[in-house]
Structure 1
């Protein structure tokens, strides 16, 4: 009974502490099997924070949204110095230099790539996530109506309202497909290494309510989001670190 009481007390303490934390708080995150570290992709401060968290938790494996399994399998310390060999520039992600702190913090961690071919995401857009991935991770179950509508509206806003709203259901299915692919890779990394495992991914995939963490079963998951000011009063993570926004052009210009 004492052990049970202590366990409940510890859980309450963790929940009570959940919320916004400073960068220093990354040095003493609670223990977990899987750490999901969200980001705004083009913000260098977020990658510095992720690197700090990796050094603190010393994961056995790190899963990257940005890498394919083929890219991850080729990674060596020498290859990381050679962006051309990694084929990073062709992938469409922001400059490798801002991601370098994350790679430099890996230590002996095994690297896994979770990216699936874009052709599969396009199929998920047209045919649904389950048609491409299969029935796992709840993809064969329809989303609750309220959640689906919220996600469609968020996708509509994320795409600068430049695409018809009726297409956003396909965008939600493509995201569900990618969430399942990331979750599947995380679980494989955990089975291979015994954890802890870190997932590096965008904040949309990192959110607890319907992102990758909601698909991970049988493991203790801790989610840290890196968000830009002004932050919401409540973010969909266990903890979040608020940073200055990155300098960028209006992303909606691309749609014009």
Structure 2
């Protein structure tokens, strides 16, 4: 028996990296997982690899229309929706004074508007059901800031505040909302932001009390807790999964 048996869970941006790790964990705990990604091929490939009734669906979180179509497909196929994990994210590292305003727009549309769009599409159905769990993957950048990621930090800070606000609004419907904040995690996105530089990687590892980068499974374990009935009395909370890099 898994702690997510019979639950229907959507995970955005789950074609690779942290999202794929989350999807694998939720499926392993018994959930039927809807893998969404802007790259439909990776979504379907991940769903096929995970099995357990998982399906892959293309969804662009920056488009409310695209998200609505995906959610209606899920509700039409399964009849309900128990868990939404907002994992889709993107960043391009540079000092703020050197950044391109066009990149600000992309960062905010994916990281903040993406969460607004999916929640707008999902929350009415969860409220009507009288149950549901929202798990937003934010970032420690949104809690303490991150050099070279100013706009991303701002967007993720917005996700944290938004999570608390919808937790208050949705509590009367028995719908929870919590945020999980990864620290540096060993993914392709991290590598693209400079994590493939051995000096940077080594410096970061030394700064982390546990002396290692996070693995996607480290995040997935916490997400699975928030997605499960074990956390039914927990809402509006922010948990860092950073090996002790940030503590507060």
TM-score by length of 1: 0.36
Task: Pick the structure with greater CA Rg.
Answer: 1
Structure possessing the higher relative contact order (Cα contacts under 8 Å, 6 or more residues apart): 1
TM-score by length of 2: 0.36
